[in-house]
Amino acid sequence: MTADASLPLDDYLRVLRQEIDDALAAVLPASPACPADIAEAMRYSVLAGGKRFRPILTLAAAGAVAPRSSTAKALAMPAACAIELIHTYSLIHDDLPAMDNDTLRRGRPTLHVVYGDGMAILAGDGLLAEAFALLARAPVEGSDAAIAGRKLAVIRRIADAAGSTGMVGGQAIDLRASGHVHDAGALDADALRDMHARKTGALIRASAVSGAIMAGGSPGVVAAVDDYAASLGLAFQIVDDILDVVGEGGALGKTVGKDAAAGKPTYPALFGLTRSRQLASEAVDLAVAALARAELRDSRLCDIAHWIGSRSS
């Protein structure tokens, strides 16, 4: 079965997840080229499952921008895998005792619990490096200058999203707001949104934009996909915060209530559950409106926005 636009959304997502899982298993380093311990540690976290939301977004954006292309998915798959490697690295480091000190991720013990702090740090570092090595070497399109230019644009976008002005910067704000460093202070609504736009939203935006770029989207279409993903990232984070309050650990695959217990800034803590749900719905509406401006409202990106807004795990 292939993930075409005619499938029901659940089947479409399931097929894409399997394709992404297969691709990830193929690109991860293995022994003997890579020492067995670190290879096993990286595979433990990457192949543990998960929603694969970010790489799905990459492939869906490529399909939305070039719906009749036979190569769009293949061109976007390396970026999709690289983004999932980066996302997994961030989860490994986020779970460490020096960060959130969590013991459950994707339904099983976190990497540092099984392999130790040192190996978890190295596994995260290895995944980050592997992501950019993958982006540099694939897809291989001979001397096609246009594809090479798209790859460079994607590498820059993902690096910005993962670095100090994006995900790493957002994590630094989170550490300060949670009292892990000196001079901690409560975040107001604007500061909370800025933190999540960096920590969570930047990589989500890079995911969608990378797919649009690799599929050959025009600057205007890429900008619309970026606007869509910015609102989608906000909706995703608000729903994530809500589920930390009302979700079930078995369904989520991670510890429930850890944000409140750690005194972390969240949307429910600042706005309450009712208003947080309204804010998530408003963000989904903005995402769909951005698609409409680029005549992409009938694409799978619209379905994904509603899926994120209504998810329970």
Q: Can you say whether the dihedral through the CA atoms of 65, 67, 69, 73 is positive or negative?
A: positive
Rounded Cα distance between 47 and 66, Å, is 29
Asked if residue 1 belongs to a domain, the reply is no
Q: 168 with 199: CB under 8 angstroms?
A: no
Buried b (16+ CB within 10 A) or exposed e, 210-229: bbbbbbbbeeebbbbbbbbb
DSSP three-state, residue 80:
helix
* Tokens (6 digits) for 239: 């729903």
Asked if residue 191 belongs to a domain, the reply is yes
- pLDDT in the model for residue 24: 98
Asked if residue 162 belongs to a domain, the reply is yes
- pLDDT in the model for residue 179: 73
Asked if residue 84 belongs to a domain, the reply is yes
Looking at the 3D structure of the chain, how many domains does it have?
1
Put simply, whether the predicted model's pTM sits higher than 0.85 gets the answer: yes
Asked if residue 245 belongs to a domain, the reply is yes
Which range is least confidently modeled, 26-30, 165-169, 191-195, 250-254? 250-254
- What is the tens place of the pLDDT at every residue in 45-66? 999 999 999 999 999 999 999 9
Asked if residue 2 belongs to a domain, the reply is no
User: Bigger pLDDT: 206 or 187?
Assistant: 206
* Tokens (6 digits) for 47: 């192949």
Let me know how many helices (H) and strands (E) the chain has, helices first. Answer: 16, 2
State the CATH number of the domain containing residue 145: 1.10.600.10
State mean pLDDT over 55-81. Answer: 97
Distances (CA, A) of 132 to 34, 85, 138, 151, 198: 17, 9, 10, 11, 20
Asked if residue 35 belongs to a domain, the reply is yes
Rounded Cα distance between 41 and 235, Å, is 32
Rounded Cα distance between 82 and 161, Å, is 13
DSSP three-state, residue 216:
coil
Residue identified by tokens 């433990």 is 44
Residue 6: which pLDDT band, with cuts at 50, 70 and 90? confident
43, exposed or middle or buried, with CB in 10 Å at 0-12, 13-18, 19+?
middle
Asked if residue 3 belongs to a domain, the reply is no
Residue 187 belongs to what domain range?
Answer: 9-310
Rounded Cα distance between 15 and 178, Å, is 38
Backbone angles phi, psi at 95, to 5 degrees: -80, -10
Residue 312: which pLDDT band, with cuts at 50, 70 and 90? confident
DSSP 96: S
DSSP 67: T
DSSP 105: E
Q: What is the helix (H) or strand (E) element at residue 10, kind and residue range?
A: helix 9-27
